[in-house]
Amino acid sequence: MFEKRPLEVKPVARYDVPRYPRHDDPDPTRHPEPVPFPFGAKIVQAAASLGITASLLSGTAFADDAATDAEPAPPHPLTVAQSGLPYTPSPYGTGVPSRLDEKIAREVIDDLFRAAGYAVKHDQRIEREGISFVADGYDPDNKVGYVFASWTDIEGDAFDPWWARDRADSTAPMTEAEAGIHKISRWLSEDQQKALTAAQALEDPKLRDEQLQKILDEFGRDRISMTEAKAIEAAAPKRKEHIAIISQFDRRFSYQSWGDEETQKAMAEAQKIPDPAKRAVAVKAAEKLAARTALENLETSVREYLDWVRRQGG
Amino acid sequence: MSTPPEPLRDETVSATFHLTHACNLRCTYCYTGEKVGKAMPVETAEAASAFVMEQARSRRARHLEVVFFGGEPLLKPDLIYRICDRLTESVAEEKIARRLTFKMSTNGLLLSREVLDALVARGVFISISLDGDPSVQDAQRPDARGRGTSERLKDVIERLLTVNPCANVTCVATPAHADRLDRSVRWLFSRGFRYVSTTLNYGEEWTRADLRRLEGAYRRLADWYVERTLGGEKLYLSCFDEKIRTRALGPLGKSERCSIGTKQFSIAPSGRLYPCVQFVHEDDDAAAEWVLGDVWGGFEADRRSALASCADAPKDECSGCAIDDRCASWCACVNWQSTGRVDRTSPLVCEHERILMPIADEAANRLWKSDDPTFVHKHYNPAFPVISFAEHLVMREVENADVRLEENETAEPPAVAGENGATIHV
């Protein structure tokens, strides 16, 4: 019966987001590590006989000659360039990788900072020459700290939402303040929403823009943008202050709940448990199992970062 | 003082020359109509060449692409050479950085060594139409007497791939042989093709049962594609790679699409202009609805503009679709071929995309999860096509050198005359 039905145009309501990178994700040929060009074995042999194997095998020279020549290797794994920012939220919301739970991640990071001898204080305001954000952990005596950048921590150019891009293509021009508000309006607090409504009702365009900018400034006061993150990083040698921006959206710290075989097996076993409470515990354990590689990566990255800070005299 | 020329725009004008309606094959799915001997006269070819140059100039296009089509274009090789030479000369006279490329779509039967050399000398990129597995090729692409053609094409394949190891082959899937598509692609691969384009016969009626069989073929093909890619093979298989591209490089923007009749158009043997190859058919009164002008008078701007607007307008039936931006439903030609309308999405196209896209994405997911460098560079390194092509050429030279070395080592040593007339082998 089904087979006899005529073909039809039928919009797809839901489509699992593929896991391979999109065009606007960080360049997979370079991130998280450079991927050598896959020359065939015979080519490599032929090149070896001509003494040019090394340059061929590196492969990255072909990916982007200028960049490879200009960029030195990053000093540690937590540079802003490797953070996965700016982040583009998925428009579909399914198939997106799982992110480390912020509470768990901050506990891990705090432990590592303390083990390295730093007295971490939470939620410390950092204000430096036009920069303003709140660091999740900071040792004011040694001037070492971190931001675990989740949704509640980023602003401005630290993320690049698809809805703002769509809007930017439209023919109706927006002021800078309007564009900024459009980007973050979904995340405004109740009071900020009220202020926004009031601002949008103003007839004087100059006044309206001023009010919108005020809301933006208040929204961004505790949050960090890419510009600020890069400025902190650039000023670190001179100021002898090191604040790592650890992004929740960094692919190294992401994972798939249905990831590897072991996790899938654990999840499948957990789902079979009839008792709801016990099932919930087992599912949680399976999720932690799935996240274990991401947590290991986080630990390794923070340790390497702290080693580097120590070598800088921090 | 003369004013400097305006800078060229990053745009391609693509003109397809239908050199003749005649063909030496009678493919079961051919959309070019009756194989009557109406060829493009030389005067029309000259006028058409001047016309396409003018189109490239007026659009300030950086790239002019000329495609030779038919019927079978190799029935008129001299016309091909003439057009190539004329346009090459015209572009050289301009003394600006306009790129000129030639392509041809041929059934290959007339691709003799002499013709191949002449085409290669003029830089014509040859795409051969072959439906793969010999039983499918013979069933779907018989000659004018109904005889199979696969046997005769063996030497042609070898000849073509020797000259260009990156030659493209196009393979058509029909309802009758949908379940053999994977076998056909593997057959083509075994013959040395590494650039395989697959397409459907959109003009035929497909049932759900046919599409299920096609789906089975795609799934088997996907497994093979993943296996080969993991093995380091650099192959291009359009059904999967184009779908992966829509995510890896982004959906085709409006500026990249053919923009039916605007940046791409067809010139019939009569000199009449059509939006695309599908519409030329027999270039008779029945096709008049799609005529956009001719090479002497140019385009009828209003007709062309109306057609492009109609074809490009958003389609209500696709509203809210989660894969709309990656779908091929923008192509007015395939929509028209299966529904007779350019402004409506073809149900066949929709059903096909809904089958194909998850299969392509699943193959890509598997390759991504495997950290496969071939997958990564193919889809995210813009230099990949150039490097792969260079690799193919170098490999061909290396292999030819090996063959020569082997021949030298096994050859009889030269003989020289020794003293007293004795022969000495050195």
A168, A136: one domain: no
Residues 6+ apart with CB under 8 A from B153: B108, B109, B130, B137
What's the gap in Å between the CA of B388 and the closest CA on chain A?
A: 8
Is A86 a member of any domain? no
Of A3, A8, A18, which is closest to B207 when you measure between CB atoms? Answer: A3
Which residue of chain A has the CA closest to B348? Answer: A7
Of A7, A14, A22, which is closest to B351 when you measure between CB atoms? Answer: A7
B259, B395: one domain: no
Which residue of chain A has the CA closest to B386? Answer: A62
CA-closest candidate to residue A257, choices A295, A276, A284: A284
Which residue of chain A has the CA closest to B367? Answer: A20
What's the gap in Å between the CA of A89 and the closest CA on chain B?
A: 15
Looking at per-residue pLDDT, the higher value among B281 and A51 belongs to B281
Contacts of B361 in chain A (CB under 8 A): 18, 20
Q: Does B426 touch chain A (CB under 8 A)?
A: no
Give me B249's structure tokens: 């490089």
Other CB atoms within a 10 A radius of the CB of residue B27 amount to 20
Mean pLDDT of A192-205: 88
Cβ atoms of B19 and B72 closer than 8 Å: no
Residues 6+ apart with CB under 8 A from B140: B27, B28, B29, B131, B172, B174, B176, B177
Q: Does B248 touch chain A (CB under 8 A)?
A: yes
**How much is the pLDDT for A2?**
54
Is B413 a member of any domain? yes
Report DSSP state, residue B237.
Answer: E
A132, A66: one domain: no
A165, A284: one domain: no
A192, A163: one domain: yes
Mean pLDDT of B98-115: 94
Contacts of B375 in chain A (CB under 8 A): 20
Q: Does B415 touch chain A (CB under 8 A)?
A: no
Q: What is the CATH number of the domain that holds B184?
A: 3.20.20.70
Cβ atoms of B203 and B338 closer than 8 Å: yes
Residues A271-303: tens digit of each pLDDT: 889 988 888 888 878 777 778 878 888 988 899
Instruction: Determine whether the interchain pair A22/B250 forms a contact, defined as Cβ–Cβ distance below 8 Å.
Output: yes
Instruction: Determine whether the interchain pair B376/A35 forms a contact, defined as Cβ–Cβ distance below 8 Å.
Output: yes
**How much is the pLDDT for A122?**
94
Of A3, A41, A46, which is closest to B209 when you measure between CB atoms? Answer: A3
Cβ atoms of B354 and A41 closer than 8 Å: no
Cβ atoms of B19 and B69 closer than 8 Å: yes
Q: Does B320 touch chain A (CB under 8 A)?
A: yes
Contacts of A59 in chain B (CB under 8 A): 373, 377
Cβ atoms of B165 and B392 closer than 8 Å: yes
Helices (H), B199-293: 208-230, 238-248, 277-280
Is B295 a member of any domain? no
Give me A69's structure tokens: 């020549």
Residues B396-410: tens digit of each pLDDT: 777 666 666 666 665
Is B225 a member of any domain? yes
Q: Does B250 touch chain A (CB under 8 A)?
A: yes
Distance CA B299, CA B267 (A): 11
Cβ atoms of A159 and A89 closer than 8 Å: yes
Supply the range of the domain harboring residue A56. Answer: 16-73
**How much is the pLDDT for A30?**
82
Cβ atoms of A142 and A94 closer than 8 Å: no
B130, B260: one domain: yes
Among A170, A185, A220, the domain-final residue is A220
Minimum mean pLDDT among A158-162, B157-161, B228-232: which range? A158-162
Residues B110-142: tens digit of each pLDDT: 999 999 999 999 999 999 999 988 999 998 999
Q: Does B367 touch chain A (CB under 8 A)?
A: yes
Looking at per-residue pLDDT, the higher value among A292 and B170 belongs to B170
Is B190 a member of any domain? yes
A244, A122: one domain: yes
Which residue of chain B has the CA closest to A26? Answer: B380
A306, A250: one domain: yes
- The residues on A that touch B, with CB distances below 8 Å, are 2-15, 18-24, 27-29, 35-43, 46, 59, 62-63, 92
A115, A227, B50, B265 from B298: Cα distances, Å: 78, 53, 11, 12
Is B368 a member of any domain? no
Q: How confident is the model at residue B89 (pLDDT cuts 50, 70, 90)?
A: very high
A50, A102: one domain: no
Other CB atoms within a 10 A radius of the CB of residue B3 amount to 5
**How much is the pLDDT for B315?**
86
Contacts of B232 in chain A (CB under 8 A): 38, 40-41
Would you say residue A62 has pLDDT above 50?
no
What's the gap in Å between the CA of B32 and the closest CA on chain A?
A: 25
What's the gap in Å between the CA of B323 and the closest CA on chain A?
A: 7
Residues 6+ apart with CB under 8 A from B53: B64, B87, B90, B91
Among B266, B297, B329, the domain-final residue is B266
Supply the range of the domain harboring residue B146. Answer: 10-266
The amino acid sitting at B72 is E
Cβ atoms of A87 and A10 closer than 8 Å: no
What is the DSSP secondary-structure string of B137-198? HHHHS-BTTS---TTTHHHHHHHHHHH-TT-EEEEEE-GGGGGGHHHHHHHHHHTT--EEEE
What's the gap in Å between the CA of B144 and the closest CA on chain A?
A: 34
Among B242, B266, B290, the domain-final residue is B266
Is A197 a member of any domain? yes
CA-closest candidate to residue A8, choices B166, B425, B206: B206
Among B250, B266, B282, the domain-final residue is B266
Give me A284's structure tokens: 């949680």
A98, A128: one domain: yes
B246, B106: one domain: yes
Angle between helices B238-248 and B347-369 (to 10 degrees): 70
Q: Does B234 touch chain A (CB under 8 A)?
A: yes
Is A6 a member of any domain? no
Q: How confident is the model at residue B417 (pLDDT cuts 50, 70, 90)?
A: very low
**How much is the pLDDT for A89?**
66
A54, A164: one domain: no
Q: Does B351 touch chain A (CB under 8 A)?
A: yes
Is B272 a member of any domain? no
Distance CA A2, CA B68 (A): 43
Across chain A, how many H-helices and E-strands are there?
12, 6
Instruction: Determine whether the interchain pair A20/B374 forms a contact, defined as Cβ–Cβ distance below 8 Å.
Output: no
A258, A109: one domain: yes
Residues 6+ apart with CB under 8 A from B22: B35, B36, B37, B38, B39, B70, B71, B72, B75
Percent over 70 (pLDDT), chain A: 82
Contacts of B214 in chain A (CB under 8 A): none
Of A6, A24, A29, which is closest to B376 when you measure between CB atoms? Answer: A29
Is A97 a member of any domain? yes
CA-closest candidate to residue B369, choices A264, A168, A118: A264
Which residue of chain A has the CA closest to B231? Answer: A40
Among A187, A220, A253, the domain-final residue is A220
Which residue of chain A has the CA closest to B206? Answer: A7
Contacts of A41 in chain B (CB under 8 A): 232
Contacts of B381 in chain A (CB under 8 A): 29, 37, 62-63
Number of domains present in the structure of chain B: 2
Number of domains present in the structure of chain A: 3
Cβ atoms of B244 and B379 closer than 8 Å: yes
B87, B227: one domain: yes
The amino acid sitting at B131 is D
Q: How confident is the model at residue A265 (pLDDT cuts 50, 70, 90)?
A: confident
Give me B35's structure tokens: 């194989």
Q: Does B403 touch chain A (CB under 8 A)?
A: no
Is A7 a member of any domain? no
B18, B259, B332, B342, B349 from B278: Cα distances, Å: 11, 14, 10, 12, 16
Which residue of chain B has the CA closest to A40? Answer: B232
A144, A243: one domain: yes
Of A3, A10, A15, which is closest to B208 when you measure between CB atoms? Answer: A3
Distance CA A295, CA B93 (A): 64
Q: Is the dihedral of CA A226, A230, A232, A233 positive or negative?
A: positive
Instruction: Determine whether the interchain pair A7/B350 forms a contact, defined as Cβ–Cβ distance below 8 Å.
Output: yes
Average pLDDT over chain B reads 87
Would you say residue B424 has pLDDT above 50?
no
Is B84 a member of any domain? yes
Instruction: Determine whether the interchain pair B320/A2 forms a contact, defined as Cβ–Cβ distance below 8 Å.
Output: no
Minimum mean pLDDT among A137-141, A252-256, B179-183: which range? A252-256
Would you say residue A237 has pLDDT above 60?
yes
Is A53 a member of any domain? yes
Distance CA B118, CA B82 (A): 11
A55, A189: one domain: no
CA-closest candidate to residue A202, choices A215, A184, A218: A215
Helix (H) or strand (E) run with residue B266 in it: strand B264-267
Is B262 a member of any domain? yes
What's the gap in Å between the CA of A104 and the closest CA on chain B?
A: 26
Contacts of B207 in chain A (CB under 8 A): 3-4, 7
